[in-house]
Structure formats: C-alpha cells, structure tokens
Amino acid sequence: MNKLLLIIQREYFSRVKKKSFLIMTILGPLLMAGVMIVPVWLAMRDKTEHQIFVLDHSGLFIDKIPNTKEVKFTYGTGTIESAKAKLKDGPFDLVMEIDIETINAHKATPFLYYKTQPGIAVEQYITNTMENILFDYRLQGDSIDITKIDKARRPVEIITLKVKEDGADEKTNTELNMGVGMFFGIAIYFMIFLYGSQVMRGVIEEKTNRIVEVIVSSVKPFQLMLGKIIGVALVGLTQFILWIVLTTVIYVGITSTVFKNQIQDTLTQNAQIEKVMKNDILSQSHKMEKVGTPNEVIDMFNFADGLNLPVLITCFAFYFLFGYLLYAALFAAVGSAVDSEADTQQFILPVTIPLILSFVIAQAIMSNPNSSMAQFFSIFPLTSPIVMMVRLPFDVPVWELALSMFMLVVGFLFFTWMAGKIYRTGILMYGKKTTWKELGKWLFYKG
Amino acid sequence: MNPILEVKNIHKNYANHVALKDVSLVVEPQKIFGLLGPNGAGKTSLIRIINQITGPDKGEVLFNGEHLAPKHVDFIGYLPEERGLYKKMSVGEQVMYLAQLKGLKKADAKAKLLQWFKKFEIENWWDKKVEELSKGMQQKVQFIVTVLHEPKLLILDEPFSGFDPINAQLIKNEILELRDKGATIIFSTHNMGSVEELCDNIALINKAEKLLDGSVKDIRKQYKSNTYHITFKGNLMGFTNALWAGAELLDKKSDGEVHSVTVKLLHQNKPNDLLQAVLSTAEILSFQEVVPSMNDIFISVVENKTTLNTQSTFTE
C-alpha cells in the first residue's frame, strides 16, 4: 500500500477516534445553533401577558394605544393610590400614570409602576406608540395637514443594481454581500487557525515522542509532513460536514417544535400591529421599532438570487483548501523547529501576522472593495484566502480572481517546498534553541 | 563475498561544523559491524546518510553494489538512539502501522507480529496503550518493529540502553540469531564490553574522521604493546633487580609472598628473554600476555588522535 496513504490514514483515524474530536463535533453545532436560536428565544421569551391599568390625566391616550398579545391596556380614573392598589389585588401587574402636563411638556414622562418588571420590549412599545400619538396630536393642534407631512417625509432605501454585460440589470444587496463575504472570510480564518495548529501540535508530538526518526527511516520527511497535513485536512472536512449536518438538524428540530407557535404568533402579530398603525395612527409604521422577526430572514432569501452562490461556494472551497495547505505547511515547519509547544511563540507570530492582518483589513475592504489595497491583499497569497472571500461578493474582475488563484497555488508550492526543507532538518534537531538565522541555513542543506 | 554496504569518501557539513570528513567503510555481509566513537563524532550523521534520512555533500553509498536509492529502505531496519512511539496509540495499531510503512502487507505484518509477540511473551500487550508500558517494554516493541520485515541490513544505535540485564541478554541473543540467519548488523554503541562480545569488525570515528577500522581480533592484536603480566613467589626486590634494560616495570602489587607485576618489553625483546632473566630470582606462578581491551584502545586512540599507522606514539 502507498506509504503516503498509510500516513494519511493514521493521522486521520488517530484524530477522529479521540474523545476531544467527538466533544468538539457535538459542542460545535450546539454553540452554532445556540448563536442562531438564542436571539430568537430572547425575543420570544417575554411572552408573559401584561395587564396595564392606564391612569391618563391628560385624556389624550384613552383607547388609543392598541392592545397586543402581550400587553393589554385598560383605561380608568381615580387617584394613583387607588390605581396602585390594583397591583396588589390584580388582575393588573402594571400601572401607568400619564400626567396632564404630558401634552405640553417638552418631554413626556409617564410613570410605570410594576410588581414584576416588564421586558424592554413592553417599554419600547409604549414609548413608540405614545410618541406617535403625541406627534400627530401636536401637528393637528397646529392645523397642519398630516397627510401632507406624511407625503413629504418618505423613507429612502437604495436598491443596488448591477448592469451586466448583456445590458440587463441584476438586483444586488450590499448588506447581504457584506454578510456573506465576512462569513466565508471568518470561516476560513478560524479553520486555518484551528487545523493549522493541529498540524503543528502533531509535528511537535512526533518530535518529543522521538518517533520521528523511526518513521523517516521508512518514508521521506516530506511524505510524512504532507500526510499529516492532508490527514488533518480530512479531519477538518469531516468535522465541518458533521457540523453543518448537526447544526441544521438541531436548528430545524428546535425551531419547528419548540418555537413553532411563537414564530407563527410573532408573524401574525406584527402584521396586525402594522395594520393597526396604518389605519388608526396614520401610516407612520416605518417609525415603529419592531422586535426582530424572521421577516428579515425571508427578505434575505428573496435577495439571495442577487448572489452567485455556485461561484461563491466554489471559491470558498478553493481558498479554504489552498489557504489551509499553505498555512499548514508553515505551521508544520514551526512545529519542527521547536522542542515543545511553549517554544513556538517566537516563530508562530510571523506566521499568524498575515492572517490577523487580513482579518483586520477585511473591514476596510468591505467599505471599499475595489481599492488598490483590496486588490493587492486579495492577490497576495498569504492574505488572499480571507481578503478575496470578503471581496468576492462585490463582483471581482475575472482576471483578478484568476491571478489571485494562480498566485495562491504558486505560493502554496513555494511555501510547502520551503517548509519541507525546514521540516526535514528541524525534526531531527533536539535540545538546541533554534534561531531565525539557523532556519535560513536549513533551507540550503542538501537532502 | 561482496560487501553489503560500501561507504565511499563521504563528506557532510552542517552550518557550523563538519560532521563527516572523507569517511569510507566496507561492511561485509552476515557480520556484526561496530561503529564506535565518542559523542558528537559523526556516527549518527553517517547512520542517517545510510538510512537516506539525509544526503551526503560528497561521496556515495553502495547497497549490495547498487547506488543507494529509496527502494532500499525496505531492506534496512533502523533502531535510532532517539527512539519512541506514539503514546496515545495502542501497541497493536502502532506496530501494524510501522510494519506497513516498511512495505509489509497487512496480513503478513499481522502474522509476523503475532509470532514475535509470542516469542517475547508479550501477547497481552497488543491492546494496551503505549503510555501504559514501561520504558524497557517500549524498547522491546521497538526492537520487534525494527527487525520485523527481516531486513538484510540492521542498524542498531545503542540498542541496549533502557534494558535490564536479562532483557539485554535476550536482545543480544536475538541479534546473534539474526546474524546467523543471514542479516548484517551495524551496531553503534559506547559499551565496549558488548563490542568485544558481539562485533566481528569495527570502525572508530572521532571528530568527523575515521581513525581505525578492521576486525576486532586484528585490532586488539595490533594494539598489543609487548606487555606481560606475571605473578610469582619470591623476593620482589630481587625480581626488579633482575630486570635488565630491555624491560620496564609498569605496575606491581603484593599480597604477602605473592607478587603480581606488569612488565613491558622494550626494543622488540621476546617474552622468553624476560623469563630467562627472572627465572633465577622468582618462582613463576603465571605468565600472561596483556591484550588491550577495546575500551583501552578506544580511549587511547581517541585521546591521542592516533591512527593505526602511527602506532609508535602509543607504545612510547
């Protein structure tokens, strides 16, 4: 059997069989699903129904604040003491007192008494609704035609369209582009770090175990290095696929069972509120701050056709693969040059600087995706895997993409060759602290 | 018989020092060849070149008359001085992996391994994790892996380190058995006792250069310094006075009446001359030629930077 294949096999199975792999594989999706579910859950959490007794001395708001599923308003009169007494006996858990001055005061300051503190959403709902009512009331008082104001004040939303070669237009979505690019960039960044350092640890392990000399008497050091890099890549791939599958299962599972009703409720409820707003308090619904709803997700899917997903995913696979291979070789070289993980600091920093740099400049790239800086860093092989992924959703010229890919392959070959030279010498060096000068000399030793 | 291994004029330089300078060796088949030298002499560099782990700057190595090539690694078994195993792997998986790396088929490897495990009575180690084994136990496993693929050439660097005397003897017997079955063994060690016991031929390297090579028997003969060990009864003073200008007393020890002395003959005098000179004054109990041990030879050669041709500096 091919020796390289044997090495890949060992590297793969010895890692996949570890407990830590199992734990990471299960924990990863839980974390990811958590990140997706927790915001939804938080939004849903404040589902306790609030009964608010409104003591409106101004009389302006009586029967004007629409009830929602969570907040029901009851209007009444009397003293604040008698109103507060209602908190004790029920059924009210909130009492709001609106001052008579509210109408004319520079700033309205209603008081909200509670037994159990309501969520921020309730407060926000009341604030927004009251602001709208006051806005309309004042304008009416000044005999200003509200419909004219409404006509005059309109929201602006830029629709970006790409003019294609054939002259046809294509709808694009800048925010989505940024999100997708950043997601792919971050994914590559973390994968390179995670699996690159696994390669490094593997090399150090072999060196400190003193098994490396036994193995390189059977196979070429370069084969051993390559086998390790490919083996770990396959581990990464396995983990990645398991993560995607498990995350989807967990996410779909939870959202379709636990949150099913709530999501449905939120959808209908928001539609209701919008309707109420439009009819009752004129059409200023765009001023309303709504709690995050799956509406945005739906919007995103509608806009997704503005992205060229096959190209994006192909490029992601390419940049991930070659980016990882390039960096894994460097990590392997670092591992070979030291005796223990504690000694890696000196060499690991220069290796990670381009990675961190590309992550940092990704922000700047997004605001100006076609600047010369963006061009340079998306072609330079040490930064291109991340920077190009961030740039890619903004339509990179084909020649730049081709050049970047070509440079990455060249960079991969060059750095792997260089790493192989360092590795070959480094793995057999014990006990001596290696300097940069020595690393340089190792490059020129004869095989 | 053609030599199994020929090392011809090897040079190897590292950044700051010369590891090997014009080293040549011939290793005959089915012999145990001792590669000797102090720490840092260049032994490991040479062994690594033979194993194709590194390449020489100049010179060449012939294996069975052919230029050393990657295909030859399957015919060589190497037990490095710096050796270890994957700690987290089970013994069985590990030995199977290493055996297959040496080109053995899976079924073949398994059958042979089981045979060896049985021979060493360690069958119950198969499923153990390597980290559960003691250092000596790990060495046994490593030895099995080294010899498993029945290499024509076996290179053992300090094979006995880490073994207790019983297991060292076990390994010694295995080495001899392997040689009798046709293997050639290059044996690198500091333990001169085992060199005398095991080696047929040796080469001594110091400071990147070969100082000495040949058969152990010949070398010891060549390094004899015409010195004799005598025990006798009688008067020590009389004995010393009887020695004439052709002999020199190196050492004397007395136990009551019995004296033992070491005498070196000068100017190519024969032992019989010595005997005749002292016979009248002493009752000779024993008379023995002093043959230098490999240990003595090693130390004096290394310390005096002497090669075989300038033996005179040693006998002075």
Strands B58-63 and B66-67 come out as antiparallel
In one-letter notation, the amino acid at residue A428 is L
Q: How confident is the model at residue B314 (pLDDT cuts 50, 70, 90)?
A: very low
The rounded distance, in Å, linking the Cα atoms of B144 and B147 is 5
Phi, psi of A292 (to 5 degrees): -50, 130
Contacts of A3 in chain B (CB under 8 A): 101, 103
Verify that B247 and B109 share a domain, yes or no: no
Residue of B57, B82, B83 lying closest to A430 (CB–CB): B82
Comparing CB atoms, the residue among B52, B76, B87 nearest residue A209 is B87
Inside any domain, residue B209: yes
Q: What is the pLDDT of residue A293?
A: 45
> How far are the Cα atoms of A289, A397, B10 from residue A199, in angstroms, in the given order?
49, 35, 35
Separation of CA A388 from chain center: 18
For B45-101, write each residue's pLDDT tens digit: 899 999 988 888 889 999 998 999 888 988 999 999 888 899 888 999 999 999 999
Say whether both B142 and B283 belong to one domain.
no
Going by pLDDT thresholds of 50, 70 and 90, the confidence category of residue B233 is confident
- Residue A116 gets which letter from DSSP? S
Which residue intervals of A258-344 are DSSP H helices? 260-280, 295-303, 309-337
B143 and B230 together in one domain: no
Q: Residues of B with CB below 8 A from A219's CB?
A: 73, 101
The whole-angstrom separation of Cα B237 and Cα A250 is 102
Final residue of a domain: which of B194, B221, B248? B221
Task: Name the residue with tokens 């005796």.
Answer: A339
Q: Is A184 exposed, middle or buried (0-12, 13-18, 19+ CB in 10 A)?
A: buried
**Residues of A whose CB is below 8 A from B98:** 214-215, 218
Among B173, B188, B221, give the residue marking a domain's end: B221
CB contacts, 8 Å: A201 with chain B: none
Q: Which residues of A touch B79 (CB under 8 A)?
A: 214
For A444, which residue in chain B has the nearest alpha carbon? B15
Q: Tell me whether residues A213 and B87 touch, CB distance under 8 A.
A: no
Q: What is the mean pLDDT of residues B206-235?
A: 86
Q: Measured between CB atoms, which of B15, B85, B102 is closest to A218?
A: B102
B120 touches chain A (CB under 8 A): no
Report which of A389, A233, A243, A228 is spatially closest to residue A319, judged by C-alpha positions: A389
Cβ-contact B179, B30 below 8 angstroms: yes
Q: Is residue B213 part of a domain?
A: yes
pLDDT surpasses 50 at B307: no
| Contact assignment for A210 to B84 by CB distance below 8 Å | yes
Whether the per-residue pLDDT at B244 is higher than 80: the answer is: no
Q: Provide the H-helix boundaries in A368-397.
A: 372-379, 384-391
Residue A301 has what pLDDT?
46
Dist CA B251 CA A390 (whole Å): 87
State which amino acid sits at residue A4.
L
The rounded distance, in Å, linking the Cα atoms of A246 and A33 is: 9
Cβ atoms of A399 and A317 closer than 8 Å: no
Q: Is the peptide bond before A91 cis (omega within 30 degrees of 0)?
A: yes
- B299 within a domain of the structure (yes/no): no
Pairing of strands A94-98, A50-56: parallel
Give the pLDDT confidence of A419-447 residue by residue, as tens digits.
Answer: 999 998 888 887 677 778 778 878 877 65
Of the two residues A216 and B267, the one the predictor is more confident about is A216
Q: Are B53 and A438 inside 8 Å of each other by CB?
A: no
Looking at the structure, do residues B121 and B247 belong to the same domain, yes or no?
no
Question: How many domains, in total, are found in chain B?
Answer: 2
Pairwise CB contact (< 8 Å): B101 & A218: yes
CB A75, CB A86: distance < 8 Å: no
Q: What is the pLDDT of residues B283-293, one digit of tens each?
A: 888 888 888 88
Preferred mutation among A214, A216, A336 to probe B, highest tally of B CBs within 10 A: A214
CA–CA dist A353, A347 (Å, integer): 11
Q: Quick check: A392 and A315 in contact, CB under 8 A?
A: yes
- The interface predicted TM-score of the complex, written ipTM, equals 0.80
The amino acid present at B289, given as its one-letter code, is E
The pair of three-digit structure tokens given for residue B56, joined into one six-digit string: 């020489």
Residues of chain A in contact with residue B82, where contact means CB-CB under 8 angstroms, are 210, 213, 430
CB-CB under 8 Å, A221 with B100: no
Per-chain mean pLDDT for chain B: 86
Residues in contact with B184: Cβ distance below 8 Å, sequence separation at least 6, in sequence order: B4, B5, B27, B28, B29, B30, B31, B32, B33, B152, B153, B154
User: Looking at residue B276, what is its pLDDT?
Assistant: 80
Size of interface A-B (CB pairs under 8 A): 75
Query: By a Cβ cutoff of 8 Å, what residues of chain A touch chain B?
Result: 1, 3, 6-7, 10, 14, 18, 205-206, 209-211, 213-221, 424, 428, 430, 438, 441, 445-447
Same structural domain for residues B285 and B244?
yes
> Residue B159: inside a domain, yes or no?
yes
- Has residue B312 been placed in a domain? no
Contacts of B43 (CB under 8 A, 6+ apart): B35, B36, B37, B157, B188, B205
B142 and B38 inside one domain:
yes
CATH of the domain at B21: 3.40.50.300
Measured from the Cβ of residue A306, the count of other Cβ atoms closer than 10 Å reads 17
Q: Do B85 and A445 touch (CB under 8 A)?
A: no
d(CA A330, CA A347): 10
Q: How far apart are CA B214 and CA B15, in angstroms?
A: 32
Considering the domain architecture, whether residues B132 and B260 belong to the same structural domain is answered as no
Q: Write out chain A residues lying below 8 Å of B56, CB-based.
A: 446
End-to-end CA distance of chain A: 25
Residues in chain B: 316
Q: Which chain A residue's Cα is nearest to B104?
A: A1
- Looking at residue B43, its amino acid is K
How does pLDDT run across A248-282, given as a tens digit for each residue?
887 788 777 766 666 566 666 666 555 555 454 44
Pick from B172, B204, B154: nearest CA to B43 = B204
CA distance B221 to chain A (A): 37
Optimal mutation site among A211, A212, A215, interface B, most CBs of chain B within 10 A: A211
Specify the CATH number for the domain of residue B240.
3.30.70.1150
* Alpha carbon distance A173, A157 (integer Å): 11
Contacts B145 to A, Cβ<8 Å: 214
Mean pLDDT for each consecutive 10-residue tract of chain A (447 residues)? 88 90 85 74 68 86 84 85 80 85 79 82 86 84 78 77 70 73 86 91 90 90 93 91 83 72 61 53 42 46 58 87 93 90 84 89 82 89 91 85 94 92 86 77 73
B97 touches chain A (CB under 8 A): yes
Task: Say yes or no for a CB contact (<8 Å) between A217 and B76.
Answer: yes
Q: Is B256 exposed, middle or buried (0-12, 13-18, 19+ CB in 10 A)?
A: exposed
Task: For residues B277-302, give the mean pLDDT.
Answer: 84
pLDDT value, residue A119:
76
Specify whether B32 is located in the same domain as B162.
Answer: yes
Strands (E), A27-164: 50-56, 71-76, 94-98, 111-114, 160-163
Shared domain for B274 and B132, answered yes or no, is: no
Quick one: B172 and B205 in the same domain? yes
Residues A216, B53: C-beta atoms closer than 8 Å: yes
User: Which residues of chain B are within 8 Å of residue A420 when distances are taken between CB atoms?
Assistant: none
- Inter-chain CB proximity B15 and A221 less than 8 Å: no
Distance separating alpha carbons of residues A90 and B11, to the nearest angstrom = 98
Do A210 and B83 make contact, defined as CB atoms within 8 angstroms?
A: yes
Residue B296 lies in a domain: no
Determine whether the interchain pair B53/A10 forms a contact, defined as Cβ–Cβ distance below 8 Å: no
Tell me, yes or no, whether B156 and B20 share the same domain: yes
> Using 50, 70 and 90 to split pLDDT, how confident is the model at B316?
very low
Cross-chain Cβ contact B85/A209 below 8 Å: yes
* Residues of chain B with C-beta less than 8 angstroms from the C-beta of A209: 84-87
Whether residue B178 sits in one domain with residue B148: yes
Looking at the predicted structure, is the pLDDT value of residue B309 above 50? Answer: no
Considering only alpha carbons, which residue of chain B is nearest residue A443? B15
Domains detected in chain A: 50-151 (3.40.190.10), 171-242+306-442 (no CATH)
CB B258 within 8 A of CB B283: no
Supply the range of the domain harboring residue B189: 5-221
Edge-to-edge order in the sheet of strand A71-76: A71-76, A50-56, A94-98, A111-114
Q: Which residues of A101-125 are buried (b: 16+ CB within 10 A; e: fewer)?
A: ebbeeeebebebbeeeebbebbeeb
Whether B86 and chain A come into contact, CB under 8 Å, resolves to yes
Those residues with Cβ within 8 angstroms of residue A50's Cβ, 6 or more apart along the chain or in another chain: A70, A71, A72, A93, A94, A118, A122
Of A205, A213, A446, the CB nearest to B83: A213
Report the residue of B82, B91, B148 to disrupt the A interface, i.e. the one with the largest count of A CBs within 10 Å: B82
Write out the DSSP string of A155-181.
Answer: -----EEEE-TTS-EEEE-HHHHHHHH
Q: What is the pLDDT of residue A416?
A: 92
Question: Is the confidence at residue B192, as pLDDT, over 60?
Answer: yes
Mutate to test the interface with B, among A7, A217, A432 (most CBs of B within 10 A): A217
Distance, CA of B197 to CA of B171 (rounded, Å): 13
Identify the residue with better confidence: B237 or A11.
A11
pLDDT at residue B235 tops 60 = yes
CA A236 to CA A12: how far, in whole Å? 10
Mutate which: B101, B148, B153, vs A, most A CBs within 10 A: B101
Reported as type and span, the H/E element at residue B184 is strand B184-188
In-domain check, residue B310 = no
- Residues in B touching A203 (Cβ below 8 Å): none
Is B313 among the domain residues?
A: no
